[in-house]
Structure 1
Amino acid sequence: MNSLIQFKNVTKEYNTGGKKFLAADNVTFTIEKGEFAVILGPSGAGKSTVLNLLGGMDFATSGDIIIDGRNISKYGEQQLTGYRAEHVGFVFQFYNLIPTLTAFENVALIKNVVKTPLDPGEMLASVGLGEHLGKFPSQLSGGEQQRVSIARAICKNPALLLCDEPTGALDSETGIVILSLLQKMCRDYNKTVVIVTHNTALAQTAHRVIRLKNGKVRDISVNASPLAVSEVNW
């Protein structure tokens, strides 16, 4: 396998009240193409900082961030905008759907952003919403809205799917359904999926687990035989 993601000695420094704070402290790891990877750690560990750097939503203070051969740490604002639009799909804790658009229209918006989108109707069918294309977000449950957001992210046909606590706003049963769906998207569409979470049980489902604490990588483990989400004792 080829490394899709290479973090090389990445540091993100903030200055607050005249004091320096290292949100990411010399972070180094790789993630291979097609992996289902989990970045794990407690609140304040630096997980969201790493995700923001991966997604081109923030600039590193130092180090190199190489995504599919591109060193995005050298990019300016305009280049990062293009990178986010073309190469990365995002799934957040909150669904960020446009309330006045139907499920289909929310997903089809992606066709205005990228050159090679997948079919919106097919993507909604793949997440189990083929019968709900014409429904508005207010007519969908939280789990269904998160499915729409996953369909929208996959519709971009991105190399990389980044998920920030994607089940944080859902009950546990619905959360398991959503995690199973993300695992299926990784497998069926050969996408590299990176999930940021504090839920340690999710580590059993990942090809690669990167544990962070206080902005540093504490441990990296590779699982040759990850469990299906449905097999985990939640």
Structure 2
Amino acid sequence: MMEPLIRFENVTKEYAYGENKIRAADNISFEIHKGEFTVILGPSGAGKSTVLNLLGGMDRVTSGSIYVNGCDIATYDEKQLTAYRRDHIGFVFQFYNLIPTLTVYENVALTKELVRNALDAREILASVSMETHLNKFPAQLSGGEQQRVSIARAICKNPTLLLCDEPTGALDSETGVLILSLLQRMSREKGHTVIIVTHNSALAPAADRLIRLRSGKIVEEVRNPSPVSVEEVNW
């Protein structure tokens, strides 16, 4: 059995609110293997985004270890975390964070300024069916098109991990299915390790691995031997 790409070991994250402490992640442990399409599921306040922020190096654990490719990122200093985010992480958020004064092509090609092994922007935009919109600006695109550019930008970094925080939350259901299908295809066909945080339990049957959170604790972790395609999900 191959070593997991990601391993959380007894991870706890506490936030201070005045004299009180909120435990957003409560001694959680799980693993994810390379190329898996993973869904982290739970209601608002379950700790989903906290887990994603810890894995993405945007927040620090209170205790525990997070191994990525065998390295414990919980021990990294700020310089190491910056390099980790730059070189290994692609982020896709609910809102697209595109630069309004740059064209579609320029928004994606910008990654070449950040990382040494960036992929070809034109090829990646073609893979998300945006090759005919290269010279448009974000304001000229629909929400779904902007999200596809956001995904292309994340993929163009050639990241170890593609982390998606409610990536379809601002989209209508039909466009959301197209985006989720694209992300699943990136996992299946390109070997990207994709982790999606969502409150929508309908996506569960499409996951290679499902991690269900409630009140900062894992209540279920399942490796699905026969996930369905996103298009087959009963929304």
Give the TM-score normalised by the residue count of structure 2: 0.99
- State the secondary structure of the residue aligned to 2:213: strand
Q: Is 1:182 aligned to residue 183 of structure 2? A: yes
* Residues 2 and 33, structure 1, Cα contact 8 Å, conserved in 2: no
Question: How much has 1:68 moved relative to structure 2?
Answer: 1.0
- State the secondary structure of the residue aligned to 2:187: helix
Higher mean Cα deviation, 36-45 or 186-195? 186-195
- Pairs within 5 Å for 1:8-47: 8-47=9-48
Aligned-partner Cα distance in 2 for 1:189–1:43:
31
Q: Is 1:157 aligned to residue 158 of structure 2? A: yes
- State the secondary structure of the residue aligned to 1:33: coil
How far does the alpha carbon of each residue in 1:75-133 deviate from its partner, in whole angstroms, 9 at most, with x for none? 01111010000001000000000000000000011001111000000000000001111
Q: Between the two proteins, what is the percent identity of the paired residues? A: 68
Q: In structure 1, what residue type is equivalent to 2:208?
A: H
Q: Structure 2 unaligned runs (5+)?
A: none
Match in the other structure for 1:125:
126
How far does the alpha carbon of each residue in 1:207-229 deviate from its partner, in whole angstroms, 9 at most, with x for none? 10000000011110111110000
Match in the other structure for 2:70:
69
- State the secondary structure of the residue aligned to 2:79: helix
- Pairs within 5 Å for 1:143-222: 143-222=144-223
Match in the other structure for 1:53:
54
Aligned-partner Cα distance in 1 for 2:233–2:49:
25
Q: Where has structure 1 moved over 3 Å in runs of 4 or more?
A: none
Question: How much has 1:2 moved relative to structure 2?
Answer: 3.1
Aligned-partner Cα distance in 2 for 1:69–1:114:
21
Aligned-partner Cα distance in 2 for 1:138–1:126:
21
- State the secondary structure of the residue aligned to 2:218: strand
Question: How much has 1:15 moved relative to structure 2?
Answer: 1.1
How far does the alpha carbon of each residue in 1:54-90 deviate from its partner, in whole angstroms, 9 at most, with x for none? 1000000000000111110000111101000000100
Give the TM-score normalised by the residue count of structure 1: 0.99
Q: In structure 2, what residue type is equivalent to 1:47?
A: K
Aligned-partner Cα distance in 1 for 2:232–2:59:
36
Q: In structure 1, what residue type is equivalent to 2:13?
A: K
Q: In structure 1, what residue type is equivalent to 2:170?
A: A
Question: How much has 1:189 moved relative to structure 2?
Answer: 1.5
Aligned-partner Cα distance in 1 for 2:168–2:22:
29
Q: Structure 1 unaligned runs (5+)?
A: none
Aligned-partner Cα distance in 2 for 1:23–1:76:
22
Q: In structure 1, what residue type is equivalent to 2:132?
A: E
- State the secondary structure of the residue aligned to 1:186: helix
Aligned-partner Cα distance in 1 for 2:143–2:21:
39
- State the secondary structure of the residue aligned to 2:14: strand
